[in-house]
Amino acid sequence: MKSSKLRQVTAFLLAVCLSALPCAAARRPSGRDAWQQPGRVVKDLGLEAGSRIADIGCGRGYFTFRLAKAVGKEGKVFATEISERSLKSVADRVKRDKLANVEPVLSAATDTKLAPASADAAFICNVLHHVPKDKRLPLTQSIVKAIKPGGFFYICDWRFDAKIQYDKGRRIPRAELVKLGVDAGFKLDAEYHYLVHQVFLRFRKPPKSD
């Protein structure tokens, strides 16, 4: 009798554990989320309620709407993009979700179209390697102008030796990314090493603009 009861309890516990597995799997990040770690990246941008940040080359808004949540209703996300089609996707969601803190901005290859000193920070992720080499510095200089003195600029882009299939022929060595930021007028301020496929750099604009 005791043996039979023990088998029943064991079977019940096993069934409970197995039923929980799909739920655990559903919570586990997959696809880009797994290696991009967007929640951790956004946290490391140090945003507060009311912050104003530019999402440069926002695409269809992978980071845009996460940033909007981080800055809150009193903050602002300038979602800049040169692709009208991608920007329309962002604008449609802004309208659908009635988001007053996201401003889609149609930018140009070397001009963010943002007002001077209009942002506390700017973030650019997996964009610079798509920008022609001769246009990278002018674009970054435009970003400098848009950031307030003392504000931050974050570059997140492929590691040159990243073991992932994307953009193998376009990747920019870390040293060139650092030089780009410095030549534009920023100072390298910090670096994060937890992203397996990407360099993640933080630059600071001098507190007093020239």
Strand partners, 170: none
Which tokens in the block code for residue 74?
Answer: 């009193």
Would the pLDDT of 6 be above 80? no
Strand partners, 153: 122, 203
Work out the angle between the directed axes of helices 133-146 and 174-184 (0-180°, nearest 10). Answer: 50
Residue 12 lies in a domain: no
Residue 81 lies in a domain: yes
Taking CA atoms, 68 is separated from 46, 163, 172, 175, in Å, by 13, 31, 29, 31
Residue 154 lies in a domain: yes
Residue 106 lies in a domain: yes
How many whole angstroms separate alpha carbon 127 and alpha carbon 107?
13
Q: What is the pLDDT of residues 86-105, one digit of tens each?
A: 999 999 999 999 999 999 99
Count of structural domains, the chain = 1
DSSP letter, residue 39: H
- Mean pLDDT on 188-202: 98
Strands in 147-158's sheet, in edge-to-edge order, are 102-106, 76-81, 52-56, 119-125, 147-158, 198-204, 187-192
CATH number at residue 200: 3.40.50.150
Taking CA atoms, 137 is separated from 43, 151, 164, 185, in Å, by 27, 18, 26, 10
- List the domain range (segments joined by +) for residue 156: 33-204
From the list 104, 106, 109, the residue with the least C-alpha distance to 131 is 109
Residue 23 lies in a domain: no
How many whole angstroms separate alpha carbon 113 and alpha carbon 91?
17
Residue 6 lies in a domain: no
Would the pLDDT of 179 be above 70? yes
Q: What is the pLDDT of residues 16-58, one digit of tens each?
A: 443 444 444 445 667 999 999 999 999 999 999 999 999 999 9
DSSP letter, residue 177: H
Q: What is the pLDDT of residues 112-153, one digit of tens each?
A: 999 999 999 999 999 999 999 999 999 999 999 999 999 999
Q: pTM score, two decimals?
A: 0.85
Task: Please give the residue that has the higher pLDDT: either 7 or 154.
Answer: 154
Task: Please give the residue that has the higher pLDDT: either 165 or 58.
Answer: 58
Q: What is the pLDDT of residue 208?
A: 79
